[in-house]
Structure 1
């Protein structure tokens, strides 16, 4: 196993820079302390997902009787719900949880899962974990989770400067735009999962 390929793949898939606009949109109504807590929880959650995927992989999902395809459909549904909230320029989860807990909820879902670490990340870690031959190689994969978590923390911490530059109007515009993009991503995730679950949906006859 090429020891550096997993890290390159993880950074590319997690893409914390690309998630910054969503982070700004979801945390615009949080105070400084709540935002910092959201960053810490999101970064730690990313590390946890990567580490568990590397060490246990599909065994955890299979324990609950969940397939990757089902995970994709569930993740796509969560994304779509948050996208609809964003299209109304409302931070996700704000209506269902208290302000004190909103940051933690947003940090885990949808920021860490599935925006940063989704089915693709889990599947990739499982594939690389299966290629390992020594315990230290699995330890390296877990270490990459620490690196990714640190990168997420750095990127989200720098998002405050972007938010100040945009202002309230700019954030509202960006929130709706990101909501539209997020809805499209959700549909793609749902479609991919549904086709895997029901292959007939992807048959040429239905497409025609």
Structure 2
């Protein structure tokens, strides 16, 4: 029961921060207007593979990062929460993530950078993964985190692959509404991180 509860919380958190529908809209603005379905499928595969590799790199090295910089879990929660709040405000206000097109790169190269990193996998996911890793008590918790992210990576792939059709049916307004809703969820998660971190830090110094 606890495994399912943690898995659902992690899945919703990853989904809200990743915002696949919002990212797909940004991706289309970066790519060639005449991009084909086959090319879009290839870009979706490469971007999804990029974020999965980035996830496991952060998951494996998370403890090392905390030890090197002598950062406590609670301090990371507070700082991570602040990062997520800034991200949530940007999403609610309708400000896009980074979307600078490098004309010297072809569309398949853009799948790795910037679509994979840092648009889909940015600072928000980075800090959230480290926080979840620091909270993991055993191997089952790590499996839950990994499974939750991989499910979202699959959703990201499906959404990005079909982004041309999603844009057609939802339109810019629909995509913006979804992003704003995700922003509210990210903001609520950020507040939980900050409150939890501040409470534990306060108790440790009293």
Alignment TM-score, normalising by the size of structure 2: 0.60
Task: Show the 5 A alignment for 1:19-168.
Answer: 19-29=19-29, 30=31, 32=40, 33-53=42-62, 55-56=63-64, 58-59=66-67, 62-63=70-71, 67-84=76-93, 87=94, 91-95=96-100, 98=102, 100=105, 103=111, 104-113=113-122, 118-119=127-128, 121-128=129-136, 131-132=137-138, 137=139, 147-148=147-148, 150-160=150-160, 162-168=162-168
Q: Give, in angstroms, the shift of residue 192 of structure 1.
A: 4.7
1:7-33 CA-to-partner distances (Å, cap 9, x unmatched) read: 873464134666432332332233535
Match of 1:204 in 2: none
- Tell me, what secondary structure is at the counterpart of 1:93? coil
Q: Give the alignment's Cα RMSD to 1 decimal.
A: 4.2
Cα distance in 2, alignment partners of residues 20 and 14 from structure 1: 13
Q: Give, in angstroms, the shift of residue 147 of structure 1.
A: 4.5
- 1:173 maps onto 2:177 in alignment: no
Query: Tell me, which stretches of 5 or more residues in structure 2 are unaligned?
Result: 200-206
- Label 1:183 to 1:20 Cα distance change in 2 as closer, same or farther (>3 A): closer
Match of 2:11 among 14, 29, 38: 14
Cα distance in 1, alignment partners of residues 8 and 26 from structure 2: 22
1:118-177 CA-to-partner distances (Å, cap 9, x unmatched) read: 53x43332232xx44xxxx4xx76666664554344222222464344343624123210
- Label 1:82 to 1:58 Cα distance change in 2 as closer, same or farther (>3 A): same
Cα distance in 1, alignment partners of residues 90 and 179 from structure 2: 10
Verify the 8 A CA contact 2:51 2:121 in the aligned structure 1.
Answer: yes
Verify the 8 A CA contact 1:42 1:111 in the aligned structure 2.
Answer: yes
Number of residue-to-residue matches in the alignment: 181
- The farther-off stretch of 180-189 and 35-44 is 180-189
Higher relative contact order (CA 8 A, sep 6+): 2
Q: Give, in angstroms, the shift of residue 69 of structure 1.
A: 0.2
